[in-house]
Chain A
Amino acid sequence: MNAYDYRIRALFVDVRSREAEFRELSPGLSGTFLGGRGIGALLLSDNPILDPLHEQAPLVFSTGALTGSRIPSSGRMAISGFSPLTGTVCSTSVGGRLALSMKRSGIDLLCITGRAVHPVVVAIDDGIVSFETLSLPLDAPLSRVFGELRTGPGSVAAVGKAAFGECRYAAIMVDGVFSSGRGGLGTVMASKNIRAVTVRGSGTFPVHDRQAEEDARRDIIRLFDASPAITGRPGLKHFGTAALVDLMASRRMMPTANFRRTYFEEYRAFSAGAIHRRFSPKHHACPGCPIACKQKAHSEIPEFETLSHFGALNENADLDAVIEANRICNEDGVDTITAASTIACLAEIRGECYTGARLVDMVRRIADSSGDGELLKLGSAVLARELGAPGKSMSVKSLELPAYDPRGAYGMALAYCTSTRGGCHLRAYPISHEILRKPVATDRFSFSGKARIIKISEDLNAAIDSIGACKFAFFGASLEEYARGFAAVTGLQIDHQDLLAAGDTISALERHINCLRGFTRKDDVLPLRFFTEPGTPGPGIEVPPIDRAAFDEALDRYYRIRGCTKDGTLTLKRREEIEQCRHR
């Protein structure tokens, strides 16, 4: 057993001055904020009210402590910054080889500030930073950028035409098909005049206790094998996230026609079964992941949210158009959820419907900034406001809602509003218990107990995002097993309650940053539609509008549990506690 003192090794790069500096974060901070999303929030809190596109606003690429270990499904990278779409703190979890390559390069974290004079590529080779240029034009498709930059092992994170065209929800694409999509961090990267970050490394990783690491790995794999959602016949391992299409339709919570309905009669056109019959896709995975939920045929098979939103949300039953829309988003670097939702919003306002080739054309215009693209690239909240119909944007804090209708899962309704990056399903992921019955089932049409469940789930997911793990792993395993892996790898005497406590600190810090940026209770609310219009009923299923009073009571309870005032801001006591954590 070799002792391994867990400290986060951070590389700070200023792209204007081209200076790079290594710093080790204190063990106290490393233990409190863990890595990944947690450290991202910590760095954002140093200067919490910067404009997202301000030169000094940081863009943070942060690995987790488990990255590179034998703990399954733990090679995710967190990318953090302030969102130009929402104005909130924003962090995304992204797959691909980026996190692994950074670790191999001897770096746990890369924090970029400044604005390069000319568009550059930040190249990191075994920890050495250099700045390169790329001969391709700024509007080149990202497949060409990746083709140019990807030489041998290593990883590339790049932004494309949408980011340089000031689309507010431009994505950072990693290794071609892995998307850091939500919130527009690609736009932040482009604002720094960075076209790509390339990372190569040849190092190895220290592990505190190999046997304990192996024990944790075995326990996790056994739980994956026992999980129907992961390895079961209809699970992610066989169908990817497309497996959720049938389920969401059957539960009558598939957002349709810009959330005017919750069931799309033609959903089978883009179901997992249809995709498999037509394309027999091959699976691929993030490094070290036995689940391998990613699927590729002639083109990347879209994730569930993308299938559902380019499908049902736009009343489009043309699978080829869905796949082509997804391909364009990947080529131009655009968040698919916001793109699809903004188009659906425009369609509703105009009383039109964009399907098939028309839909594909709309998607193309987002990055081109041509025709409707000028409006579409602003996101649905701004678009709807500019067209005088703010109620038609199906977003919370300007982040468009993904493909789970909140009228069909009340924990989800609450979580959309309390999420620190806006209308996002991944901050608390209540679909796990409200629909997938993991770890146990809860009543999806009730707010009873949901305030604390959502608070704990937010803490859980903040911890997951901070140790480098993938959320899908938690359809089988739990933080209990991952905490053992974390302790084995880092040597920190840490258990799952310690990880949850870290998650609590991270979630509270993110909320606090948002409050400093002007967000309060008034922003923690769903669009009016969900309180006034019913969803589509099905056999034995009624989908009434959400009871506003019950929602407000649940939100009140959430605030009390989270340590907030009635207005949603942290209490003084909680702020002081968070401040202490920031200086450990």
Chain B
Amino acid sequence: MRGLLSLRHSGSATDEALLAAAAQGDVRAFEALYDRYSRAVYSLALRMLRDAKAVEEVTQEVFLSVWRGGRDYDPRRGSARSWILALAHHKSVDAVRHQRLRAADRLSEEMTGETDVVGEAIRSVEGARVREALAALSEVQREAITLAYYQGYTQQEIADRLGLPLGTVKTRMRDGMLRLRILLGRSMQGEQT
């Protein structure tokens, strides 16, 4: 009764079709999406948050948003995959900023540069393709993007932390992202076939 769009072949259905079916209340389509993306979502949240309980909360929130908000997804604004991962990143960033507010002491330690946050962040990038692409950026671009994406800092926080004008950080971030787009572009297309 529940499977309004009965996706018997959910194994081969596109992410977009699964998302559309889940938005209509199809639990099996949702389950298939969970099985495809829970690992990526969980791993990204774990990379950013490091606290198992917070990571589980973020993962659960992401998938409940996928379930409830799937109909907000607009294919003209990117793939379902990037939509889900953007949701995961967004919620992880919210959680990491919240964590930092609560642990103001740890923040001040990080901000004074006693720990090598950037170096650690870059060293722990695991996917070979992503690591190579990041390695091909200039050091300052890599630093800006890593601090933003994996550490959840705002561009203003990054400017403060590095003692740079905000405009410089914006430029580095933007140039870096455009460069990554070219570097990762070919493999992104390859993956979608």
**A-B interaction:** no
Binding site for A on B (CB under 8 A): none
